[in-house]
């Protein structure tokens, strides 16, 4: 069974969300994921990392976000961790249209839930939040290697 593990640690800067997505793209290309699956993986990771920066760290730079991607067989596990303020009420935070920022639609968790098979959030006030997502993938049927 094929296994692979990648870890990316970066400063809580908005421009680093793109770098997190680039890692997702590279992993997706390596696994030959269909385009829709790759796009959905990118959105899920983008949302988790954005939440860490916007909510976990209240947009303050000089904090650290960790993204880990584990591939075991055809299951991808994504872990996004911050050591920020934590989430007081996780079920409420995961509701659509709930958001601590009125400009946002509270869709981050909705996208993560829609695009991944499992979503687990562990959080402790003042200690940080860990988002764990998994998805079983099937490579594109038209591989031409």
Catalytic residues: 47, 51, 104
3-state percent breakdown (helix, strand, coil) of the chain, nearest 5: 35, 30, 35
Which phi-psi region, left, alpha or beta, contains residue 103 (left: φ > 0; alpha: ψ -120 to 50)? alpha
Q: Hunting for tokens 């009420």 — which residue is that?
A: 89
Distance CA 145, CA 24 (A): 21
Selected binder of other proteins within 17, 80, 87, 121 (CB under 8 A) = 17
Q: Which is nearer to other proteins, 46 or 130 (CB)?
A: 46
Beta bridge partners of 38: none
Stretch that binds other proteins, among 76-84, 99-107, 118-126, 132-140 (CB under 8 A): 99-107
- Contact between 81 and other proteins by CB under 8 A: the answer reads no
Selected binder of other proteins within 28, 31, 41, 42 (CB under 8 A) = 42
Residues 44 to 63 in contact with other proteins, rule: CB under 8 A = 46-47, 50, 53-54
Q: Which residues bind other proteins (CB under 8 A)?
A: 14-15, 17-18, 21, 35-36, 39, 42-43, 46-47, 50, 53-54, 99, 101-108, 110-111, 114
């Amino acid at each position: 069974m094929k296994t692979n593990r990648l870890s990316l640690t970066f400063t809580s800067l908005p421009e680093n969300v793109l770098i997190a997505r680039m890692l997702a793209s590279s992993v997706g290309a390596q696994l030959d994921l269909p385009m829709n699956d790759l796009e959905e993986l990118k959105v899920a990771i983008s949302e988790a990392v954005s939440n860490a920066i916007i909510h976990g760290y209240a947009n303050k730079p000089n904090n650290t976000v960790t993204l880990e991607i584990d591939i075991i067989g055809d299951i991808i596990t994504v872990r996004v961790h911050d050591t920020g303020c934590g989430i007081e009420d996780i079920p409420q935070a995961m509701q659509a249209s709930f958001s601590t920022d009125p400009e946002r639609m509270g869709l981050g968790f909705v996208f993560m839930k829609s695009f991944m098979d499992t979503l687990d959030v562990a959080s402790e006030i003042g200690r940080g939040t860990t988002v764990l997502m998994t998805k079983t993938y099937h490579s594109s049927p038209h591989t031409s290697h």
